Each structure stands twice: as structure tokens, then as C-alpha cells.
Amino acid sequence: MLRFCGILALFLLVAPMTALGQQGRTLNIGALEYFTNEIMSADDMNWPRGVRHMAPEMLDTYGITVGLRRTWTAPDGQTYNVQVAQVMQNKFSDIENVTVPVSGAFKRVHRNPYPTKQLDGVNWTQTFDQNDPVDPTIPSDAMIYTAIDLWPNANPRMDIRVERWAYVFANDDYDDMIIMEYRISNTGSQTAEDVVIGLNAAVHSEAHYPGDLWGDYYGATYPRYVGGDASADSLRMWYAWRADMSSSGDQDDTGDPHSQWGYFQEPQFMGHIVLHADASASDESDDPNQPFKAGWSQRDKVKNLNEASQTEVYNFLANSWDVPDYPYDTFYDSDRNPSTRENGYFRVLEKEPGKVAPYGIDLYSFDSEQEQEKNGFFSFGPYTLAPGEDVRIVTAFVGGVIPSRLAIDAGRAWDGGFEGRPVFGVCDLYVANQAVPCNNMPGPLSYSDMHGHPIVQSGDVYGLEFDPVNGGLKVTEAPMVPGGNTLTKTQKDDIIYLGQKLMFETASMAKRVWDSGNVKYGQGTFNIPYAPAAPSLVGFSENDQIRLQWSDNTQDNSRGGTITGWRVYREYKRPPALTSPYDTTFIRIADLPVSQTEYVDTDVVRGEDYYYYVVAVNDQGIESSPFQNRTGTSANKEDEALAPTRAPAETWRSEDPLEGVVVVPNPYHVQAAQKYPGKRLNFLNLPAYANVHIYTMTGDRIQTLEHDANTGDIDWERQDTFSTMEIVSGVYLYVVEELDGPRGNPTGRTAIGKFVVIK
């Protein structure tokens, strides 16, 4: 809350009040969830999506800055020989004067109709998703278009328009990336000289102190790679990760291991990669010498118009790095040769002798007392734009991370950041999408990466290998940590830095996706297999079962192949022997023919919550998005839970004694419920309609539960009083009062009992 309040206060200082009402849209069909608004002032990413024990916020201080050489008088009365416009998250935004949205331009478009989600009669589909336009010809599965005019009311006007198309994919081989295509055009009648474009973004959740975010620029020697030097940098990418903070002392807190349970909360690697930059307004070929300036800067050292002048911001864009000199950075000049800071246009991290991480990437230690978080920065240009001309820049955000179950189990074995500490005896196997009991544990494992280098030796703690064909990670046996095992630092690094390798694989894939397609300004196609349309889902909590029904959307499927069947997935719950965190892995529980659009899950237990999604499968074996109809994605996950009920107790329909009401669990341990979400206080064997009154032993009525579901049970989910206070430990009385209908009148039949709460 403190961070939010600080951001809000800063936003109010640097932006007109009208900016608070800007439209926003989310691209939410893949594992990388992206949000933006119509002036690009609040871009945000969540990745990996849906993994609640990880910190998913992966974008901060995103900004775009455009400058050119022109003599003009700013609104403050000062005359400059450069004109700069900028929008930067949390730093600067002026919607009325500087970056003005083009009226009616902002929109999100889906390739297929967005599916609906209705659970126990409640519609959980976002209204914006349902109302946005559908266009089966767009290049991706979903797209957001944004357009802003820069200084349109100044004298003279800047006459530059910035347009951006954001593309995402549902195919799970491509849903860890989002491609951004920018068009910077001259809309005026005069030639724009020395146009420079800056893009900055902190691609990780740790965007503020302490200094535990590491980052690096890979790409200083990229032109040599294009020229045939295989040893040079093969991509142009800034990337970041949650690394070890030197001020943490003996603790190695890489990946942010949970202080109590050990699991890695931030094992992600996120990159911002340049895919294309026009050589000039008349040459649309990709210029390998762009960006002409790149690397990393402290978050506060990226110049912004709220704190710096027009000239200072332009000089930051156009000139070499003007930053403090640190012992752990190095520079390359414009010819891509090692250089001094004064002539350095590419800032990368210096190698620390003798400290090399897995797969050849060097590790560095930053101290939170000296260093703020890293912010990746690119400068493109300088360009000359005659009236009507434009240049195009294409980037992508890409991610890589180890499987969430491995982050839990390996982090538990590493145990809070200290090597060699024992962990409690547990094992949790996951083989071929099925949970496997501990007594079926496979034997010693030995796997290699895609280059034949051993990842783990026989008998080590997990089984993973890279797929050299698709460039992805395969969980071949099980991410597992047998009970009592610990990880060495080397083993722990091997596991976490698999995410780094996956990020590079995704970045390379993004480059291939862009280069092999023919997409330009929201038109054309990408040369990838598209996923089928996701079905709309309806779920019902029924007596001792869950019923799922979905739409036959084969008619709506655009360019997604022929739908040949359906698959039903249900959230897997870790065994009760394990404590926090709650596992969110989904298990495939049914493969169904295309003619069957209903599934009844009878392998359920009353009192538990269940979450599902249903995907279409096409003739290439590609599944539709697992996120569009997934249940449990609202802010309060339990609101979307499906839970089996039971029929009203027969004793209430006869003259038998009313002694069948049961409270489970009894006693009720509040702390256990916090460790195992879904564990609730349940009243069973109820009549079809009733009020359940709850009293203290002194006779004070503290709560009444209204039961009007025509079932035989009800959950007391919140365990609070009328005044919303949490209940305390003690013995409580309940009185079940039968009603003659939903919220009807008492019939005179009651049942009375006790239950115990332990906190």
C-alpha cells in the first residue's frame, strides 16, 4: 500500500487530473499478461501468470521519449533548440499538452470471440473482453493499438505521431512473449531532423530499493554477429533477474527464497529484446547498428521531463552514457570496441574474475546501499523524417522461468538461502501430468541440456531436459526433492539459471517469429501455428459432483485448425503433508471427443474447492488458451470456486429426531486453514433451506448464515462476526432453523449443537 500511495502521489504531481480517467486494456490470453492505457503511461506485466506464490509484477518505469532538433518556445517561456516529448510510468505524463491520445484510436481486438465464464449462475467474464471487437484477420490472437500525438498544440507543433501495436499469442509455445511494433511518423509539413527515440523499462518486479535486481545488456557486439562472427552477441536484449544481494551477508537470496518455507518467490528472468529497427525512413531493412545506445541505468538516472530540461533529456537520448562510474560496469563505443565511460554508448556489466554462473553468464554482486534497481534503455536514430515519412521499431518482452513446482521443491531444499540446512521429509512427484505417491518414486535420474552438457548427475534432485527441436524445457520425470535432501549452491544455481536459458530461447524464438512473418502496422500474418478458439464455460456445484458444460465453438474458430476434441484440466492440490505454498499446477483429467461438450467430475470431496479450465484441441494437437475460461482468476480466488454439495438431509423430511447435523472439521484449526486454502468450516446434513445461527457460550449471537441453495451443506467461509471481526478460540453453539423456502418462514424444526475453534 505504501508503494501504491507513493506512485499515486507522484502521478498527481506530474500529470493533469484528466489523466486519471484514461482507458485501459489487458492482453490476458497467454502466460504473459500485459496491461496498458491509451497514453502508454501505466504499462504493466504479470508473468508467470496465475502462479500465486511467485511475485509476478515484471514491468516498471516503462517509457517512450522522442526528441528532434528544432527551435521552439516551450509553455514555460524558455526557448530551446531541441523539442522533446515523453511519457514515462511513475515519472512524467502530460496528457493535455505533451502526449495527447488520438481520439478514438485506442482499442483491443481479438481474433476469435472472447469466451464467457459462468459459475453457479454468476457471470465472471470481464465486460471489456466481451464488448471488444473481433477481427479474424489480425496477425495475432489479440492486439492492442495505441496512438498519441506529441506536442500537438505547441508553437510550432512537434508534428510527430507515435503508434504502437502489441501482439500476443494463445499457442503455449509462443505465449511467453509480447511483440511491440512502433511507428514514429511525421504528420506535419516540415522535415523533422535528428529524430531520436528512447525506450526504457525495468523488466522485473523489484523496481525499487533494496538493490537486489541484477541486469545486463547482451548485444554490444551484435553487428559482428550479423557479419558472420559466431562468437559475438547474437541478440540485442536487456534482461534482469532477482539475484543475490551482497548486503544480505552469508545468505544467498538469489530467487528470493521465502524466509519460512524456502520456496523461490522470484526465479523469473525477463528480457526486453530489439527485433527490428529501420535503417532510415527510406530503408526498411533491419539496421544491426540500432539501437545506437543501449544498456542499463539506475532507475532515477533515466532523464525525465519532470526533473530535467528539454536539452538535458535530448542529450541523454543522443549522447554517450552520463552516469556515475562503478567498478562493475564496462562500456563499448559506437564501433563496438571496449571504451571509456565518456565515449561509451553501450553499457554492460563487467566480469567479476572467478565468478561465472551456469552457462557462461557472469554473476555480479550489488549493494543496496550504493545501487538502485536497473533500468534497461535503448536509443534509436538519429533519423530524418520528411513530411509523411515514418520509421518502424519492433521490440518484444520475453520471459523464462523454471516450473513452479520446481521453484517450490528446490527452494525448500535450499531452505531460505543457506546451503546444507536439512528440510523436512517430503516428496511430491509429477509424472506425465499425474500426481505420483512417494512410494512410486523413480530411480536415479540423469539429463543433459540441448548442447549435451549435464544438468544434473545421477541421483540428484530433479529431472529436466531441453527440447532441442522446440527450444523448450521438458519436465521429463518429475521436479522433485526427496524428503531430507538439501541442495548445494551449485545445484541451486543450476536450477534457477535454467530460467535464464529459457529466456534466451524465448528471445531467439521471438526474433524468428518476427523475421519469418510479414506483419506491418496491424496487418499481415505471423508464420506460426495458431491456437484454436477457447470455449465458453459454464460450471455447476452439484450434489457430490461438479458439472462442466462448454460451447461448441468450431464455427467461431478462425485460422486455428480443425477442432478435434476437448481437454478438461483441474487444479492439483499438494498432499496434506506439505505446507505453504499452495500449488497451482493443473492436471489433465479428461480427453473428450469433439461431440461431447459436458463433463461431470465425481472424483471430488465435499468441503473442498475446485478450479478448472477447458481447452479445445485442434488437428495439430495445439490447445486453446488455458487462461480465458480458467476459474479462480478473480481478485478473490475463492469467489470462483466450484464445490460439491450434498442433497438435503432426509431426516428433515421425516419425523426422525433432528440429530444428524455435523460440523467438520471439529475442532476447526484456523492456522491449518491458512496453510491449506480451501479448508473451510462446513455444516452438513442440513435441510434444503435454513438459517444457521451461531452463538458464543454466553448466549451472544455473533453470526447468521443464510442457507437457500436447496443443498445439504453450507460453508462458513469468512468465520467472522456481524461486525466483521474474526472469531477467537473457544466453544460455539449453533442452531439450525429450518425454513419453508428460500429466505422463507421458520417451520419450527431446529437442531442444536457445538463446535470448537482453535487459533
**Nearest Cα to 476, choosing from 447, 496, 437?**
447
All three cell numbers of 154: 505547441
CA dihedral 320→326→330→331, nearest 10 degrees, is 10
Kindly indicate the confidence band of residue 56, based on its pLDDT and cuts at 50, 70 and 90: confident
CA–CA separation, 165 vs 378, rounded Å?
A: 18
User: Contact 374/323 with Cβ under 8 angstroms?
Assistant: no
Look at residue 16 and tell me whether its pLDDT is greater than 50: no
More confident residue, 86 or 50: 86
All three cell numbers of 587: 492436471
Kindly indicate the confidence band of residue 257, based on its pLDDT and cuts at 50, 70 and 90: confident
More confident residue, 83 or 433: 83
All three cell numbers of 387: 513530411
In what helix (H) or strand (E) does residue 88 lie, and over which residues does it extend? Answer: strand 79-88
Phi, psi (deg, nearest 5) at residue 66 = -125, 130
Q: Annotate 463-512 with DSSP letters as a single string.
A: --EEETTTTEEE--S-B---TT----HHHHHHHHTHHHHHHHHHHHHHHH
Lowest mean pLDDT among 183-187, 203-207, 340-344: 203-207
Q: Say which DSSP state 152 is in.
A: T
Instruction: Please state, in angstroms and as integers, the Cα–Cα distance from residue 153 to each residue in 20, 99, 150, 453, following that order.
Output: 21, 10, 9, 60
Q: Is 173 exposed, middle or buried (0-12, 13-18, 19+ CB in 10 A)?
A: middle
What domains appear along the chain, each with residue ranges and CATH number?
2-400 (no CATH), 404-503 (no CATH), 537-640 (2.60.40.10), 650-758 (2.60.40.3080)
In what helix (H) or strand (E) does residue 516 lie, and over which residues does it extend? Answer: helix 498-516
Kindly indicate the confidence band of residue 448, based on its pLDDT and cuts at 50, 70 and 90: very low
CA–CA separation, 461 vs 490, rounded Å?
A: 12
Kindly indicate the confidence band of residue 470, based on its pLDDT and cuts at 50, 70 and 90: very low
Q: Tell me the range of 77-81, 274-278, 467-471, 689-693 where mean pLDDT is highest.
A: 274-278
Look at residue 30 and tell me whether its pLDDT is greater than 80: yes
Query: pLDDT above 90 covers what percent of the chain?
Result: 41
Residue 283 neighbours by CB under 8 Å, 6+ apart: none
Based on its alpha-carbon atoms, the radius of gyration of the chain, rounded to whole angstroms, reads 29
More confident residue, 723 or 445: 723
Q: Tell me the range of 20-34, 405-419, 487-501, 601-615 where mean pLDDT is highest.
A: 601-615
Mapped onto helix, strand or coil, the DSSP state of residue 9 is helix
User: What does pLDDT average to over the chain?
Assistant: 79
User: CA 553 from chain center: how many Å?
Assistant: 27
Q: Is 230 exposed, middle or buried (0-12, 13-18, 19+ CB in 10 A)?
A: exposed
User: Contact 214/246 with Cβ under 8 angstroms?
Assistant: no
Task: Please calculate the CA angle 325-313-345 and round it to the nearest 5 degrees.
Answer: 45
Q: Say which DSSP state 329 is in.
A: E
More confident residue, 125 or 426: 125
Number of neighbouring beta carbons within 10 Å of residue 154: 17
More confident residue, 435 or 580: 580
Q: Tell me the range of 368-372, 610-614, 712-716 where mean pLDDT is highest.
A: 610-614
CA–CA separation, 474 vs 502, rounded Å?
A: 11
pLDDT of residue 445: 28
pLDDT of residue 215: 80
Number of neighbouring beta carbons within 10 Å of residue 179: 27
CA–CA separation, 41 vs 90, rounded Å?
A: 8
CA–CA separation, 376 vs 361, rounded Å?
A: 18
CA–CA separation, 473 vs 467, rounded Å?
A: 6
pLDDT of residue 1: 29
User: Contact 337/176 with Cβ under 8 angstroms?
Assistant: no
pLDDT of residue 52: 72
Phi, psi (deg, nearest 5) at residue 399 = -130, 160
Q: Say which DSSP state 247 is in.
A: G
Mapped onto helix, strand or coil, the DSSP state of residue 266 is coil
pLDDT of residue 598: 96
User: What is the average per-residue pLDDT within 385-392?
Assistant: 98
**Nearest Cα to 482, choosing from 408, 405, 446, 428?**
428
Instruction: Please state, in angstroms and as integers, the Cα–Cα distance from residue 345 to each residue in 215, 220, 271, 683, following that order.
Output: 17, 9, 20, 68
User: Contact 268/206 with Cβ under 8 angstroms?
Assistant: no
pLDDT of residue 206: 58
pLDDT of residue 490: 74
CA–CA separation, 443 vs 465, rounded Å?
A: 16
pLDDT of residue 415: 65
Number of neighbouring beta carbons within 10 Å of residue 575: 12
Residue 403 neighbours by CB under 8 Å, 6+ apart: 473, 475, 479
More confident residue, 547 or 742: 547
498-516 vs 489-496: helix crossing angle, rounded to 10:
20
Look at residue 654 and tell me whether its pLDDT is greater than 70: no
CA–CA separation, 612 vs 597, rounded Å?
A: 14
Look at residue 449 and tell me whether its pLDDT is greater than 50: no
What's the pTM? 0.81
